[in-house]
Amino acid sequence: MDLRDFYSRLSVDESLAEVMGYNPYYQKIDSGLNARILVNGHEMIDLASNNYLGLAADNRVKQAAMEAIKKYGVSLCGTPIATGYIDLFQRLEKKLSHFVGLEETIILPSCYQANNGLFNCIAGPKDLIIVDRLVHSSLIEGIKSTGSKIRPFLHNNLEHLEGILQRSIGYRQVFVVTESVFSTEGSIAPFKEIVQLCEKYEAMPIIDDSHGIGVLGKSGRGILEEQRIAGYRGIYTASLGKAIANSGGMISGEKKLINYLKYYCSHLVYSTALTPAVLAGISEVLDIIHSEFSEIKEKLINKQRQIYKALLEGGFKVVSSEAPINSIQTGSKEATFILNRKLYEKGILSTPFIEPAVPINEGRVRLIASVSLSQDTVDEAVAIIKRIGHS
């Protein structure tokens, strides 16, 4: 192999960043997620992280993580099937199962890994996977690894989904895959209806609740609670790095499924277990949600609304959302970068989405107002947004 050829094939298209004189990716953060954050040494307002409930730098969560380190050290240096399965891990599996109301749970190092690893354990070439057109890349990659027939349906479109289900004859198994909150849009899936369609056509529903867990439902238990889906018999995955403010990914469902994955999901079996600090951090966050969710949620909605109003007043094309996400429709990737840069220059960190993270020419700039923002900070963000809108 010619090494020069090899490396020359690995070029990254940075033309857009060069033209703009600005690259929004891999910005260096010099602080934790406090009321203000430090980005490249400058104080900024964080409207970019997924720290919805503002618990990532909460003192109680930090304390719990430190206690765990004191007791167990920083790592058990083993996968869950070996030395990684400490009592904290086992208790957290139970706690998470109870939290989302499902029988059993496994915990992986990330939800990306969970979504990548799940599908080839349960599906193969004789199966059909029907998937919402806008799902996260981790699901798409997992689905593609199965060799199953893949049929995307139009985003949140029940009619299109039912049409496909009606014509899905002759497969060994049929799966329907979607997300609860689509985080680039803030749209929420009509999951209750999707589950009903799955029952009618004997398909297995799979939901990724990464942006719903800790946010949706009257006590923060996610999409199943929000849409009052009782006796869910499908599969559930979620990230523990967003509202749950730590890291990791969970897969929950019936005992039979989880027990199978415990032995056959290589993404779990062959990867070092989450560390004690993280396990304890997640557990503490669940306790805080249990006792304070309604107050925290009220603050979250309040901050989101203030930003939403400012965006409307600034004349931005903003998607109205039931989730605590503000998504500005910017269109082309150039326009997306320009708005993201303007916000950055005025002191707001936001998240730009361009293809392939979103369909081509459907660029978005996303703003999430975490509960950790003080009212002063929100006021300042509001003023900046209006000023940019009117300029």
Ligand X SMILES: Cc1ncc(COP(=O)(O)O)c(C=O)c1O
Task: By CB under 6 A, tell whether 127 contacts ligand X.
Answer: no
Task: By CB under 6 A, tell whether 132 contacts ligand X.
Answer: no
Task: By CB under 8 A, tell whether 133 contacts another protein.
Answer: yes
- Non-local (6+) Cβ contacts of 190 within 8 A are 156, 158
- What's the min distance (Å) between Cβ of 318 and another protein? 17
Considering only residues 343 to 382 of the shown chain, the ones binding another protein according to CB under 8 A are 355-356, 359-362
Task: By CB under 8 A, tell whether 150 contacts another protein.
Answer: yes
Q: Choose which of 179, 185, 226, 284 interacts with ligand X (CB under 6 A).
A: 179
Region for residue 13 given its phi and psi (left: phi exceeds 0; alpha: psi -120 to 50; beta: otherwise): beta
Q: Is 161 exposed, middle or buried (0-12, 13-18, 19+ CB in 10 A)?
A: buried
- What does 136 bind: ligand X, another protein, none (CB cut-off 5 to 8 Å by kind)? ligand X
Decide whether 175 or 377 has the Cβ nearer to ligand X: 175
Task: By CB under 6 A, tell whether 93 contacts ligand X.
Answer: no
Decide whether 96 or 165 has the Cβ nearer to another protein: 165
- What does 140 bind: another protein, ligand X, none (CB cut-off 5 to 8 Å by kind)? another protein
Task: By CB under 6 A, tell whether 112 contacts ligand X.
Answer: yes
Q: Look up residue 1 and give its two tokens.
A: 């192999």
Task: By CB under 8 A, tell whether 77 contacts another protein.
Answer: no
- What's the min distance (Å) between Cβ of 180 and ligand X? 8
Task: By CB under 8 A, tell whether 331 contacts another protein.
Answer: no
Q: Are the CB atoms for 198 and 229 separated by under 8 Å?
A: no
Region for residue 62 given its phi and psi (left: phi exceeds 0; alpha: psi -120 to 50; beta: otherwise): alpha
Cα–Cα distance measured from residue 185 to residue 29, given in angstroms and rounded to the nearest whole number:
25
| Span interacting with ligand X, options 4-12, 86-94, 157-165, 203-211, rule CB under 6 A | 203-211
Q: Choose which of 51, 110, 340, 372 interacts with ligand X (CB under 6 A).
A: 110
- Non-local (6+) Cβ contacts of 97 within 8 A are 103, 104, 105, 252
Q: Choose which of 77, 154, 301, 383 interacts with another protein (CB under 8 A).
A: 154
Task: By CB under 8 A, tell whether 140 contacts another protein.
Answer: yes
Task: By CB under 6 A, tell whether 185 contacts ligand X.
Answer: no
Task: By CB under 6 A, tell whether 241 contacts ligand X.
Answer: yes
| Span interacting with another protein, options 42-50, 64-72, 150-158, 218-226, rule CB under 8 A | 150-158
Task: By CB under 6 A, tell whether 239 contacts ligand X.
Answer: yes
Q: Choose which of 46, 58, 208, 362 interacts with ligand X (CB under 6 A).
A: 208
Decide whether 133 or 256 has the Cβ nearer to another protein: 133
Which residue, 363, 107, 40, 120, is CA-closest to 244? Answer: 107
Decide whether 280 or 310 has the Cβ nearer to ligand X: 280
Task: By CB under 6 A, tell whether 220 contacts ligand X.
Answer: no
**Residue type at 212?**
G
Task: By CB under 6 A, tell whether 111 contacts ligand X.
Answer: yes
- What's the min distance (Å) between Cβ of 328 and another protein? 17
Q: How far is CA 28 from CA 25, 34, 353, in A?
A: 9, 15, 19
The residues of the shown chain that bind ligand X, judged by CB under 6 A, are: 110-112, 115, 136, 138, 179, 183, 208, 210-211, 239, 241, 249
Residues that bind another protein (CB under 8 A): 133, 140, 150-154, 160, 163-164, 167, 355-356, 359-362
